[in-house]
Amino acid sequence: MKTIAFFNNKGGVGKTTLVYHLAWMFADRGVPVLAADLDPQANLTAMFLNEERLEEIWSEDEEHKATIFGAVRPILRGIGDIARPPVEQIVPNLGLLPGDLGLSGFEDKLSDAWPRCHNSDEAAFRIMTAFHRLMYEMADGWAKLVLVDVGPNLGAINRAALIASDHVCVPLAPDLYSLQGLKNLGPALIGWRATWADLITKAPKDLSLPAGSMSPAGYVVMQHGMRDSRPVKAYQRWMDKIPPVYRTAVLGKPTAGVVPKVENDPNCLAQLKHYRSLMPLAMEAHKPMFHLKPADGAIGAHGEAVRDCKDDFLRLARKVGAAAGLKLP
């Protein structure tokens, strides 16, 4: 099983929409996938589940919540280890670890545990590896891939989520704020990776530990506007800055020689349109954009956009899968 986190220090880049659609695409292509919502905003969960189901799982007694918060609550209370909630089965090949606004309460616990790991504190290591162990337990026996959605910050929750990830994919928008976020997250990933590599030498030998590799899988550019199949001029200058910033900030490599454009950069997994006209229809139908039918309003130009969307996400899923060692049909 492989775990891929989707992360940028800048919000509003389409990260959750990307995870949602990739999860559906992998499931459609026969790859059993678990979508893990580790963002306390829980937007991914809200995309998968209708309001009735959301009300059920979020209104449950805190001791028995079938969410990520329910899973870590025994640790928060200091009365035990992780509790495994049931997988929220969306379709046979697609399961969900539901998010919960209550997860934000885990931040302080994780912040406190990180320095205590330096002292070989077993309880601290159990806290730091809670996400890793939970996802492996939930995916055991059926899922080949876990896609992780995290919030747009460099806090303790995201640090633990990224440590639990084999690979990291960075969604970007061609603008100043997204580039600045990229400059921030790159050194953070490098630092977390190096520190965890040292910490795991001090961990209990019988505890399941993530490698904390956080191997960069590449980036995805979510294009704000299109004109004649090219980014509008206002965004081109930011597009040109993405390859060198990704190379230096995330890969830690110098930008010697000729730096490729986004369209020729091997680190670029895809340039995706926003498909603005399809998203309202998809939200209303509660399905991914490439599942829209004429009955959902996808007629005329919308129908053509649905086909383009499916092709785009299939190409992206194949590249993301290849980074994780999975080959999609």
Per-residue pLDDT of the chain (329 residues; tens, 9 = 90+): 999 999 988 777 789 999 999 999 999 999 999 999 999 999 999 999 999 999 999 987 776 789 999 999 999 988 889 998 889 999 999 999 999 999 999 999 999 999 999 999 999 999 999 999 999 999 988 999 999 999 999 999 999 999 999 999 999 988 888 889 999 999 999 999 999 999 999 999 999 999 999 999 999 998 754 444 445 676 788 899 999 999 999 999 887 777 889 999 999 999 998 787 898 899 999 999 999 999 999 898 888 899 999 999 999 999 999 998 998 88
Q: Is residue 95 part of a domain?
A: yes
Q: Is residue 295 part of a domain?
A: no
Distance CA 96, CA 67 (A): 9
Q: Is residue 85 part of a domain?
A: yes
Range of the domain at 29: 2-277
Q: Is residue 157 part of a domain?
A: yes
- Tens of pLDDT, residue by residue over 132-144, are 999 999 998 899 9
The structure's pTM equals 0.94
Q: Is residue 292 part of a domain?
A: no
Q: Is residue 84 part of a domain?
A: yes
Signed CA dihedral, 154, 157, 163, 168: sign only: negative
What residues form DSSP beta bridges with 96? 35, 88
Distance CA 167, CA 260 (A): 23
Distance CA 110, CA 204 (A): 18
Give percent of the chain above pLDDT 90: 74
Is-contact 48 27, C-beta < 8 A? no
Residue 225 has a pLDDT of 45
- Tens of pLDDT, residue by residue over 276-289, are 789 889 999 999 99
Tally of structural domains, the chain: 1
Tell me the Ramachandran region of residue 83: left when phi exceeds 0, alpha when psi lies from -120 to 50, beta otherwise.
beta
Q: Is residue 267 part of a domain?
A: yes
CATH code of the domain containing 238: 3.40.50.300
Q: Is residue 307 part of a domain?
A: no
